[in-house]
Structure 1
Amino acid sequence: MSSFDPAGMLEEVFPVALLNNYQDTLYFDLVVVTPLLSIAAFLIFALPWTLLAFFDPKPLQRFKIQQKPFQVRKYFLPNIARITINTTILIALMTLLWPLFRHINSIHLGEVPAWYIVIGQLTFFVILDDFLYYWMHRSMHQRWILKHIHGVHHRIKNTCALDGNYFHWVEFVATGLLALLPPLLVGAHLYVLYIWIIIRQFEAADGHSGYDIPYNPVKLIPCYHGAIYHDFHHAKFKGNFSGFLSYLDGWMGNTYIPSYLNYLSNRKKGIAPAEANENNR
């Protein structure tokens, strides 16, 4: 009776040279660890905000951007399902493409660069990714793409942090690959890529939190206005296309949502979010 030999069966079906591509240590670090780290970081950032939205405590309701119930109960399980399915699809696609991708890959496990180079690279990643995302996001509001792909994300009008990864799988994969492009361009160290992915998922969670908390330290980041910027995109649908840095909507055709600008004006006068949005209607 012959013994079962899965390795031998694989070699009969696939060329040895093809299988050898997956012996590269970067395959596991890039294709498997990176997406899993990305989702783990997102959940760490998103779940506390989502729990807050679930209980919606009365003392914090005045800081809600939209004075209407969050949609946590309706979308919590669909969120978890989409995150799980989309991450699986991303890993499967990257696995399939790895024999080609590894030949153009510049991400490495060599010497870790000096701290100031890391800071410079991360700054470049944020700026380039946001520029590219602006145009991808804006194009996704074309009728066909909006109806069949991007409309999934827009099912949620009053977002909580977990909604930051509620996507059609095509948009999920496109967003992930877009975030990978800046590190590929500079030949980043794998650990710098990991830091960047964590930052990118912080953007996704914070931008969908649904709260405009005063003295939020992340608002010290230039051109970042916190969750209010993207929240208006979900509420009003058109405009505010940037993912993180709001200046692009001013530079690329003044695509700001007018009510968002009015809201900012009210907030500068010291008006609380609830009243600022009420005055904005």
Structure 2
Amino acid sequence: MTEIFNSTTLNNVNAPSFGQIVSNIFETQKQLNIIEKLWASWYTYMQNDILATGLLFFLTHELTYFGRCLPWYLIDKIPYFRRWKIQPSYIPSDKEQWECMKSVLKSHFLVEALPIWAFHPLCKRLGISVSVPFPSLKTMCFEWCLFFILEDMWHYWAHRLFHYGPFYKYVHKQHHRYAAPFGLTAEYAHPIEVMSLGFGTVGFPIIYAYFTRDLHLFTITCWVCFRLLQAVDAHSGYDFPWSLHNFVPFWAGAEHHDLHHHYFIGNYASSFRWWDYTLDTEAGPQAKMDRERRAKLKADKTAKKRI
């Protein structure tokens, strides 16, 4: 079993129940915050790091994903919110929600479960820590921002590739079954797409850990949760006045990704707008008009130079 505590020892580690272990750690480890105490209690109670990490990752993934999908399902049932629906003429039926949910669950158990359960041995080889205390908030924020930027870059190019010929026909077409996305469709995709785009979420923390030998599993767990929340919200189909992109201009969000599903091309990035803006792959009528305007200005400028 991995040493959970970096600089302290735990009394009565053989406590028979989880409640007793929690109580013991809360009483003896005053220097830890609440989340660190619960984290340490979990690993101490499980006494099996592979099982503890696998179960932690799997349950966190399921609770975060479906927990975030539930509010969007309820919002779809309330007519009041239709004023903020990006494509108000389409509301997913219960049958579509259920079919999508079954497909996503199947993918979770048959495609994602094995890598999740095999993750702890990889953590040990890469020096990914599970001990407490956690890294500083400043360190974790830097790593979360870095992972968001790297994942967005990977997602843009991989997603753009999936819109090419056979990749779209045999793989990515499944994800585009719904031209008006809803929360559950975030992970409704072909297994090849799940694995390849999923690399952007898990692969970069692995690469980062390989080179730095200084990454905590809690940082990765939070990052996966943030990425899941972003993916579900981007597929929600709603654009509220309080949506993040209205305050952070380079954030993508549902308004950005919904155009991708509606027009089946453009807006390939996941979290940010800069790749699509810089490479001129923005989707929608407004983006098309802007491209035509820029092309006309460029043509006029070239014509004046010739004169």
Instruction: With the length of structure 2 as denominator, give the TM-score of the two structures.
Output: 0.70
The aligned counterpart of 1:85 is 106
Contact kept? 1:238, 1:257, Cα under 8 Å = yes
List per-residue Cα deviations over 1:90-115 (Å, max 9, x = no partner): 34542796698467544321352111
User: For residues 263 and 163 of structure 2, what CA distance do their matches in structure 1 show?
Assistant: 13
Contact kept? 1:70, 1:159, Cα under 8 Å = no
Contact kept? 2:251, 2:271, Cα under 8 Å = yes
User: For residues 233 and 26 of structure 1, what CA distance do their matches in structure 2 show?
Assistant: 41
Match 1:46 to one of 69, 73, 77 = 69
Identity %: 25
* 2:207 pairs with 1:185: yes
* 2:70 pairs with 1:70: no
* 2:265 pairs with 1:223: no
* Pair 191,168 (structure 1): closer, same or farther in 2 beyond 3 Å: same
Contact kept? 1:50, 1:72, Cα under 8 Å = no
Moved more, 103-112 or 65-74: 103-112
* 2:278 pairs with 1:255: no
How far did residue 181 of structure 1 move? 1.6
User: For residues 224 and 116 of structure 2, what CA distance do their matches in structure 1 show?
Assistant: 19
The aligned counterpart of 2:60 is 37
Match 1:158 to one of 180, 200, 206 = 180
Contact kept? 1:140, 1:146, Cα under 8 Å = yes
* Pair 104,237 (structure 1): closer, same or farther in 2 beyond 3 Å: farther
Moved more, 64-73 or 235-244: 64-73
Aligned partner of residue 108 in structure 1, secondary structure: coil
User: For residues 117 and 135 of structure 2, what CA distance do their matches in structure 1 show?
Assistant: 31
Match 1:235 to one of 238, 242, 262 = 262
* Pair 83,170 (structure 1): closer, same or farther in 2 beyond 3 Å: same
Moved more, 42-51 or 83-92: 83-92
Q: Which amino acid aligns with 2:191?
A: W
Of the two structures, which has the highest relative contact order with CA contacts closer than 8 Å and spacing of 6 or more? 1
May I ask how many residue pairs the two structures share in their alignment?
239
Q: Which has the larger radius of gyration?
A: 2
How far did residue 71 of structure 1 move? 2.3
* Pair 260,25 (structure 1): closer, same or farther in 2 beyond 3 Å: farther
How far did residue 84 of structure 1 move? 1.4
User: For residues 263 and 104 of structure 1, what CA distance do their matches in structure 2 show?
Assistant: 52
Give the gaps of 5 or more residues in structure 1.
1-22, 265-281
* 2:237 pairs with 1:210: yes
List per-residue Cα deviations over 1:169-213 (Å, max 9, x = no partner): 222222333211222233221111111011001111110111111
* Pair 175,185 (structure 1): closer, same or farther in 2 beyond 3 Å: same
Match 2:50 to one of 8, 24, 27 = 27
List per-residue Cα deviations over 1:110-165 (Å, max 9, x = no partner): 35211100110000011101111111111111111111111111000111111111
User: For residues 29 and 169 of structure 1, what CA distance do their matches in structure 2 show?
Assistant: 26
Contact kept? 1:68, 1:158, Cα under 8 Å = no
Q: How does 1:113-128 map to 2 (within 5 A)?
A: 113-128=135-150
Q: Which amino acid aligns with 2:81?
A: L
Instruction: With the length of structure 1 as denominator, give the TM-score of the two structures.
Output: 0.76
User: For residues 183 and 143 of structure 1, what CA distance do their matches in structure 2 show?
Assistant: 31
Q: C-alpha root-mean-square deviation of aligned residues, in Å?
A: 2.7
* Pair 157,138 (structure 1): closer, same or farther in 2 beyond 3 Å: same
Runs of 4+ in structure 1 displaced over 6 angstroms?
95-100
Contact kept? 2:151, 2:200, Cα under 8 Å = yes
Q: Which amino acid aligns with 1:215?
A: W
* Pair 258,210 (structure 1): closer, same or farther in 2 beyond 3 Å: closer
The aligned counterpart of 1:19 is none
User: For residues 259 and 39 of structure 1, what CA distance do their matches in structure 2 show?
Assistant: 37
Give the gaps of 5 or more residues in structure 2.
1-45, 210-214, 291-307
User: For residues 148 and 75 of structure 1, what CA distance do their matches in structure 2 show?
Assistant: 21
Contact kept? 2:49, 2:120, Cα under 8 Å = no
Contact kept? 1:208, 1:227, Cα under 8 Å = yes
